[in-house]
């Protein structure tokens, strides 16, 4: 992962949204550590930046491990101190996705 501290901005209807890549990578590591305690085969796959939230993707060796990772979404939410978190397995993928809202919405 790139640990360079970079600020990205995305324009949307309500103004600018800023993203700190170091914070994104720190969150990815926290999510991975939280899940790894129960699912040893979990690996960080990548992230997607959306205007209001960031999607973090993780892979595992089996579908059962992905389902087990889904059950840890409340633990992940607490670890990140997130107000909201959505977790799901995207169709036709071997990954679990955690959507975390962006904390730095600028108007």
Q: What is the pLDDT of residues 29-46, one digit of tens each?
A: 999 999 998 999 999 999
pLDDT at 101 exceeding the cut of 80: yes
Token pair belonging to 30: 């926290």
Report the share of the chain in percent with pLDDT over 70.
79
- pLDDT band of residue 11 (cuts 50, 70, 90) is very low
Q: How far apart are CA 8 and CA 48, in angstroms?
A: 13
Residue 50 CA to residue 102 CA, distance in Å, equals: 9
Q: Which residues pair with 105 in a beta bridge?
A: 17
> How far is residue 37's CA from residue 22's CA, in Å, rounded to a whole number?
23
Show the DSSP H helices in the chain as ranges: 21-36, 63-70, 73-80
Average pLDDT over residues 43-56: 91
Residue 5 has pLDDT above 90, yes or no: no
Residue 59: CB atoms within 10 Å = 17
pLDDT band at residue 106 using 50, 70 and 90 as cut-offs: very low
- φ, ψ of residue 87 to 5 degrees: the values are -130, 140
pLDDT at 14 over 60: no
């Amino acid at each position: 992962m790139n640990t360079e501290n970079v600020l990205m901005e995305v324009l949307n209807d309500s103004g600018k949204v800023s993203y700190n890549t170091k914070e994104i990578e720190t969150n990815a590591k926290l999510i991975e550590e939280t899940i790894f305690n129960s699912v040893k085969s979990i690996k960080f796959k990548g992230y997607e930046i959306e205007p209001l939230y960031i999607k973090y993707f993780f892979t595992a060796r089996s579908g059962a491990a992905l389902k087990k990772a889904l059950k840890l979404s409340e633990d992940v939410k607490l670890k990140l101190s997130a107000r909201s978190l959505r977790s799901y397995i995207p169709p036709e993928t071997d990954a679990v996705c955690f959507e975390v809202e962006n904390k730095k919405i600028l108007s």
